[in-house]
């Protein structure tokens, strides 16, 4: 049996600057579809493109178990691989699906006419739920009614066209562009309704009166500007510890699990989840957002077992995690998440080649938008192989 402590001490730590050629130096022009929606904790397209090109072959199956906005599987498709994205969060699933099964502009435009007829025939309930009332703070009366009707019509539409339209709406539901449906606010995350209400009053912000259908078409034209990949991918909405794939069916895995005790995915996307028909509190119960080391270890143990199962022998796996600063009595402590999960990876049978350390500038750190001094100061890319 392997001596895990000895192995951990022998693992090579490499500063990203020592690599020379890496995902930061080998930047690519992002495909227009990457702009469909801004979401916190997303990979820059150059990162998955670098690893996919370097460590896989055309036709290989590439999996991201925590796909977020679908950057990894889409870059796999662009590079003539089969891209599979999985994410438990409903909004992330919709965005991933839109990336791996996109529709052309004219198909979307035609489908949107059908949706518009259904919207015009839809009557809204007069009584608003508590979440409806919170969402209403962001919009003019006209825009809010259109958004609510679209919500009703599209909620159970699981066609490629319907999901693609939902993804576009998630991208313009709030933000600062001329296509954004809300008053001016963050485009990356759903802000607190109480804060927005107060901020709008103090700064006399006007809620724009938008034609939602025109905004959807304008956004679609922009994100579909570049040619789409010829290959279609797969979007899954499973637990990362129970992905519905056959054993040894994946050639390469690349992903970043939820950052331990840092990100509140459901709350940060509460307005998008509302549009999709979900209460963020219910979604939160199904996501890994715990500050408990025991629960996080259990989550990662289940996930690692599943990744090992679906990966073929000789396949590569790359996991990105961040060093987390946790508040404790009298100060704080830093948790090296890579070291935290290394025993789990080794116990399952993964071979650890090296760990690449990437220092993150203050302005680009996760959660730095909430409080200065917070955020991930270092990210670590763990290079793994299934032997």
* Ranges of the chain with pLDDT below 50: 1, 368-372
Neighbouring C-alpha atoms within 13 Å toward the C-beta of 268: 20
Q: Are residues 116 and 44 in the same domain?
A: no
The answer to the question of residue 119 being in a domain is yes
Q: Quick one: pLDDT at residue 121?
A: 96
Residue 356 tokens, joined: 């690449």
Calpha distance 303→360 (Å, rounded): 26
Q: Are residues 364 and 243 in the same domain?
A: yes
The answer to the question of residue 353 being in a domain is yes
Report the number of distinct structural domains present in the chain: 2
Q: Are residues 53 and 162 in the same domain?
A: no
The answer to the question of residue 274 being in a domain is no
Of 167, 192, 223, the position where a domain reaches its end is 223
The answer to the question of residue 21 being in a domain is yes
Q: Are residues 82 and 126 in the same domain?
A: no
Q: Are residues 246 and 364 in the same domain?
A: yes
Q: Are residues 146 and 177 in the same domain?
A: yes
Among residues of the chain, what percentage have pLDDT more than 90? 75
Helices 105-120, 212-223: inter-axial angle, 10-degree rounding: 170
Q: Quote the pTM value.
A: 0.93
Q: Quick one: pLDDT at residue 366?
A: 57
The answer to the question of residue 282 being in a domain is no
Q: Are residues 204 and 172 in the same domain?
A: yes
Q: Are residues 170 and 203 in the same domain?
A: yes
pLDDT in tens, 128-142: 999 999 999 999 999
- Asked if 74 contacts 95 with a C-beta cutoff of 8 angstroms, the reply is no
Residue 355 tokens, joined: 């760990």
Helix (H, G, I), strand (E, B) or coil at 20: coil
Q: Are residues 259 and 353 in the same domain?
A: yes
* Tokens 């998440």, located at residue: 337
What residue numbers bound the domain in which 335 lies? Answer: 4-88+239-265+291-386
Q: Quick one: pLDDT at residue 21?
A: 85
Q: What DSSP string describes 31-69? A: PGGGGG---SS---THHHHHHHHHH--TT-EEEETT-TT
- Asked if 259 contacts 323 with a C-beta cutoff of 8 angstroms, the reply is no
Q: Are residues 215 and 298 in the same domain?
A: no
Q: Are residues 382 and 246 in the same domain?
A: yes
Q: Are residues 81 and 130 in the same domain?
A: no
Q: Quick one: pLDDT at residue 370?
A: 47
- Asked if 85 contacts 100 with a C-beta cutoff of 8 angstroms, the reply is yes
In our burial notation (b when 16+ CB lie closer than 10 A, e otherwise), range 328-345 reads eeeeeeebebbebbbebb
């Amino acid at each position: 049996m392997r001596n895990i402590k000895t192995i951990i001490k022998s693992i090579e730590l490499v500063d990203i600057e020592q690599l020379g050629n890496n995902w930061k130096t080998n930047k690519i022009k992002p495909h227009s579809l990457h702009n469909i929606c801004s979401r916190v904790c997303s990979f820059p397209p150059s990162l998955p493109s670098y690893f996919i090109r370097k460590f896989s072959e055309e036709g290989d199956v590439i999996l991201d178990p925590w796909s977020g906005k679908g950057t990894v599987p889409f870059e796999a498709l662009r590079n003539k691989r089969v891209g599979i994205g999985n994410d438990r969060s409903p909004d992330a699933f919709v965005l991933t699906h839109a990336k791996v099964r996109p529709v052309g502009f004219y198909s979307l435009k035609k489908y949107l006419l059908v949706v518009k007829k259904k919207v015009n025939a839809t009557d809204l309930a007069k009584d608003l739920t508590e979440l409806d009332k919170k969402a209403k703070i962001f919009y003019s009366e006209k825009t809010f009614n259109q958004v609510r009707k679209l919500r009703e019509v599209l909620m159970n539409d699981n066609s490629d066209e319907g999901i693609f339209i939902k993804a576009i709406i998630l991208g313009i539901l709030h933000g600062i562009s001329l296509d954004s449906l809300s008053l001016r606010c963050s485009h990356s995350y759903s802000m607190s309704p109480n804060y927005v209400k107060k901020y709008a009053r103090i700064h006399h912000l006007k809620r724009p009166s938008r034609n939602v259908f025109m905004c959807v078409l304008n956004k679609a034209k922009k994100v579909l500007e570049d040619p789409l990949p010829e290959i279609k991918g797969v979007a899954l909405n499973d637990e990362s510890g129970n992905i519905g794939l056959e054993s040894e069916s994946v050639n390469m895995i690349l992903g970043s699990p939820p950052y331990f005790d840092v990100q509140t995915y459901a709350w940060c996307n509460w307005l998008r989840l509302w549009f999709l028909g979900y209460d963020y509190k219910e979604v939160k119960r199904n996501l890994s957002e715990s500050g408990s080391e025991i629960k996080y270890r259990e989550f990662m143990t289940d996930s690692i077992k599943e990744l090992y199962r679906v990966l073929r022998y000789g396949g590569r796996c790359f996991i990105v995690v961040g060093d987390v600063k946790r508040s404790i009595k009298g100060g704080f402590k830093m948790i090296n998440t890579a070291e935290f999960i290394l025993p789990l990876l080794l116990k399952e049978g993964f071979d650890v080649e090296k760990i690449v350390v990437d220092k993150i500038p203050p302005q680009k750190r996760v959660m730095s938008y909430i409080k200065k001094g917070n955020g991930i100061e270092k990210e670590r890319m763990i290079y793994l192989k299934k032997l």
